[in-house]
Copies of this chain bind each other. A is one copy, B any other.
Amino acid sequence: MDTKHRILEEALTLFSEKGYSNVFVNDIAERVGIKAPSLYKHYKNKQAIFDAIIAEMHQRFLDQAQVLNIQGNDPFRDAEIYSGFSEEQLIRLGTDLFLYYLHDDYIKKFRKMLTIEQFRDPSLGAAYSKLYVDDPLTYQGQLLAILVSAGVLHGESTETMALHFYSPLYLLLTICDRDPSREEEAIRILEGHIREFNRLYGRTKE
């Protein structure tokens, strides 16, 4: 009964490693433990499997947005938390968040798959930009705006601040996606980044 979902899982794994067109229906079936023609009892064709993965991601995204009160959805709440934080706590938080996005199996695979497929279809490119660029920048911008108006941080443009905070994270994430053995290095660099960000925009200055 959950074969239908197993198919999505295994397909996502394969798509994230080789890209849609380098994965054969046979490969997916083999991993699920059935024969290729049996797949068609669950999905109309290969493309439908891909589409279902995308649809599921959209659903997860909506679900998450629904549940407020959760990390990354309520800038006011988060800002309140951060404003009392020490630098070490901030680093800890940033690192944990980074590692969460890096390690969570579903998130990681989906990100890699979209990376591969982003130019094939404009809607996938748009999804990529939204998920990994615009949404994070918007959210961090809101967060920073609150922290600035509360006097916790100082900066002229929260848009630029958000870019300064987020883009190193993004860059480091892509490094680790390509080569997980560089994770330790990435964490070290990330620490330096957050420390410096805090110094540049932080409490002590001006």
Residues of A within 8 A of B (CB): 16-19, 21-22, 112, 115-116, 118-120, 122, 125-126, 128-129, 133, 155-157, 159-161, 163-164, 166-168, 170-171, 174-175, 177-179, 189, 192-193, 195-196, 199-200
How far does the alpha carbon of A175 sit from the alpha carbon of B134 in the complex, in Å? 10
22 contacts between A and B (CB under 8 A): A16-B119, A115-B118, A119-B178, A122-B179, A125-B178, A128-B178, A129-B175, A129-B178, A129-B179, A133-B174, A133-B175, A157-B192, A160-B193, A160-B195, A160-B196, A161-B196, A163-B193, A164-B193, A166-B171, A167-B170, A167-B171, A170-B171
| Contact for A119 among B116, B119, B171, CB less than 8 A | B116
Q: 4 tightest A-B contacts by CB?
A: A167-B167, A125-B178, A167-B171, A167-B168
* Copies of this polypeptide in the complex: 2
Contacts of A192 in B (CB 8 A): 157, 159-160, 163
Q: Which of A112, A156, A168, A199 has the most CB of B within 10 A?
A: A168
